[in-house]
Amino acid sequence: MDLTLKIWRQASANEKGQFINYPVTDISPDASFLEMLDILNEELVHKDEDPVAFDHDCREGICGACSLFINGRPHGPDKGITTCQMHMRHFKDGETIVIEPWRAKPFPVIKDLMVDRSAFDEIIQAGGFISVKTGGIPDANAIPIPKRVADIAMDAAACIGCGACVAACKNASAMLFVAAKVSQFARLPQGKVEARERVQNMVAKMDELGFGNCTNTYACEAECPKEISVSHIARMNSEFLISKLASQKK
C-alpha cells in the first residue's frame, strides 16, 4: 500500500505546530498502524530527520499508552480497539491519513503526537482508590458479591485510561473515564465505604483540571476502545446527586 500521512509535528509544548505530509510506500495491509509509523520513523532516521514522537507500550491493547486521532477518530476507524491493534487493511491504497494528537486543554502536547495525560493520574489520586490495607489475595467468594454486580464493576474496570473519551468528546469532557472509575468502586463492597467522598473529590478534580462538561452526546461510548457504556455516567450522576444530598457538614 502507498499512503500519504498528514502528521501533526510540534517540537515542544511551547512551540507552534503544523501538519507535514509524509509519503510511505510499500506498506503491508497486515502491518499494524504503529508498525507503519515505525517504518516511517526508520526512514526519517536514515534521512537524519527527527522521527515522529508517539506514545506506545504494550502493543496488545491493554496498557492504554497508545493514542492518535486518526482520520477524525481516536484510535482510528475500527470499533472497540486501540491504535496498536489496528491494521493497515482498514485503509485504502493511495489514501491520505490525517494523524493528530488528542486535543484538550488538560492534555497539552509534549511533542508531535504525544500528549501529557497526567491529568488522569491527578483524578485517580483525588479518589480512585481504596484506602484500606487489602492484604493478600482473598479466597474466591470470601466476599459475597452477586455475579450481576461483579460483571458491571468488571465492565467499568475495563477502562485503560487512554483518554479516547476526552479526545472524541466535542466538549473534551472526561466524564466517561471518571464515571468508569467511580462506578467500578461504587459497585463493590470494598469501594462503597468511601463512595460518597470519592465521587465528589474525583468530579471536583476533573472540573478543576479544565475538562469540559458532559452534554450526553455519547461520542465517548462510540469511540471507547474498551466500549465502556455511558450507563456508568448515569450511575456517577446519581452517585453524585445522592452524595450531595446526603453529605453532612462535619
Partner 1 sequence: MSKTMISYSSITKKIIMALAGLFLVSFLLVHLSINILVLFDDTFELFNQAGHFMVTNPVIQTIQWVLFFGFILHIILGVIIQIQNWLARPKRYDKKYPSEMSFFSKYMIHTGAIVFIFLIIHFANFFIKLKFGNVESITYESGTYDNMGQMVYNLFKDGAYVVFYIVALLLLGFHLDHGIQSAFQSLGLNHTVYTPVIKLIGRLLAIFITLGFIAIPLVIYFFK
Pairwise CA distance, residues 110 & 106, whole Å: 12
Question: Please, are residues 6 and 97 in contact by the beta-carbon 8 Å criterion?
Answer: yes
SS3 97: strand
Give the CA diameter of the chain.
67
Q: Which one among 28, 125, 213, 247 touches partner 1, defined by CB under 8 A? A: 213
Pairwise CA distance, residues 52 & 40, whole Å: 8
Q: Which is nearer to partner 1, 40 or 203 (CB)?
A: 203
Shortest Å distance, C-beta 26 to partner 1: 25
Residue 173 CB burial class (10 angstroms; 0-12, 13-18, ≥19): buried
SS3 213: coil
Binding mask 73-92 toward partner 1 (x if CB under 8 A, else -) reads x---x---------------
**Residues with Cβ within 8 Å of residue 168, at least 6 apart in sequence:** 73, 74, 219, 220, 222, 223, 224
Q: Which is nearer to partner 1, 32 or 237 (CB)?
A: 237
Spatial strand order of the sheet with 3-9 comes to 18-24, 3-9, 96-100, 69-70, 73-74
Shortest Å distance, C-beta 214 to partner 1: 6
Pairwise CA distance, residues 204 & 209, whole Å: 9
Q: Which one among 61, 83, 211, 226 touches partner 1, defined by CB under 8 A? A: 211
Site for partner 1 in 143-172 (CB under 8 A): 168, 170-172
201 touches partner 1 (CB under 8 A): no
Q: Beta strands 3-9 and 73-74: pairing type?
A: unpaired
Question: What is each CA distance from 22 to 11, 80, 96, 197, in whole angstroms?
Answer: 17, 28, 9, 49
Stretch that binds partner 1, among 25-33, 38-46, 135-143, 200-208 (CB under 8 A): 200-208
Q: Which is nearer to partner 1, 38 or 116 (CB)?
A: 116
Binding mask 36-65 toward partner 1 (x if CB under 8 A, else -) reads ------------------------------
Q: Which one among 21, 118, 216, 247 touches partner 1, defined by CB under 8 A? A: 216
Shortest Å distance, C-beta 241 to partner 1: 6
Site for partner 1 in 96-125 (CB under 8 A): 98, 100, 103-106
Q: Which is nearer to partner 1, 188 or 203 (CB)?
A: 203
Shortest Å distance, C-beta 106 to partner 1: 8
- Residues lying near partner 1 in the complex (CB under 8 A) are found at 6, 8, 19, 69, 71-73, 77, 98, 100, 103-106, 168, 170-173, 175, 203-204, 206-207, 210-219, 221-223, 230-231, 233-241, 244
